[in-house]
Structure 1
Amino acid sequence: MKDSEQRLLKHQIKPTAMRLVVLNFLLDQSAAQSLTDIELKMGRTDRVTLYRTIRTFEENGLVHRIEDGSGITKFALCAPGCNVEGHHDLHVHFYCLECKETHCLPKTHIPEVKLPSTYKVLETQLVVKGICSNCSE
């Protein structure tokens, strides 16, 4: 069995042809991708099937959603600790103001935020904006 198929099965996702194509595409990317980016770069794909695939990946802890302030939701592969029960990859995202790419910085963790006991945290995101190393050269 191929690595991509095993990865899908590990996340309780049935390895269909479209899911394998999308996963392999995401594995080849260095930056987070929007649905439009994926659709355009992959070529001719059914938009509804693509949306459902990404939604299934997100629900099963294979990709995470990134709101980088650009107004466009982007997706990137999760760290190995994420699963059906939830996402456990709290890390910083970097949005480049030049190339408009969003990168995960998995080794840069988001510090724990202490809130009053009456508040319930559902999601934490930290986006740093600036110029990436490729654009600053």
Structure 2
Amino acid sequence: MKKDFDNKLQSRNIKPTAMRQLVLQVLTDQKTAISLPELENKFEKADKTTLYRTLKTFEENKLIHSIDDGTGSVKYALCREACKCHPEDLHVHFLCAVCGQTYCLNDIPIPNINLPAKFQLESVNMVVKGVCSNCDK
């Protein structure tokens, strides 16, 4: 398992360290996006700055993407293997109004946006809000 994490980190030009391996393990185990405070709660003795820098390194190297779901807390989720975080790689996110979890809907791409001439698309954030399948019971 450790070797798999090392390979995943190295494939994105990220030097494997013990903390990066641990953070990658947590992100891999997540079924929903996670905020920095939620990540901090998973580590008793980890420094908040180290966790933040780890997330930023992962994001800069396209291992994870950040999500502004409108809750006021940025959340993070693993990118798909071939993702380069270009607009065509982006997908819809779903925020549950009941449990507050944010899900990546990887199979629902962001619709094509036809911008006026001389406008250049750099990023898109699409959040759909409702009730997730876990809360709809």
TM-score by length of 2: 0.94
The SS at the match of 2:6 is helix
**Contact preservation (8 Å) 1:81, 1:87:** no
**Contact preservation (8 Å) 1:25, 1:42:** no
- Matched with 1:115 is 115
Unaligned runs of 5+ in 2: none
Post-superposition shift, 1:105? 0.5
RMSD value over aligned CA atoms?
1.1
**Counterpart-to-counterpart distance in 2, 1:38 and 1:117:** 42
The SS at the match of 1:12 is coil
**Counterpart-to-counterpart distance in 2, 1:110 and 1:38:** 27
Unaligned runs of 5+ in 1: none
**Counterpart-to-counterpart distance in 2, 1:104 and 1:51:** 21
Post-superposition shift, 1:111? 1.0
The SS at the match of 2:25 is helix
Post-superposition shift, 1:42? 2.6
Query: Is 1:34–2:20 an aligned residue pair?
Result: no
Query: Is 1:75–2:73 an aligned residue pair?
Result: no
> What amino acid does structure 1 have at the position aligned with 2:94?
F
Post-superposition shift, 1:44? 2.1
- Matched with 2:97 is 97
**Counterpart-to-counterpart distance in 2, 1:32 and 1:123:** 18
- Matched with 1:124 is 124
Identity of aligned residues (%): 49
- Matched with 2:52 is 51
**Counterpart-to-counterpart distance in 2, 1:44 and 1:102:** 26
- Matched with 1:66 is 67
Tell me how many residue pairs correspond in the alignment.
134
TM-score by length of 1: 0.94
**Counterpart-to-counterpart distance in 2, 1:32 and 1:22:** 13
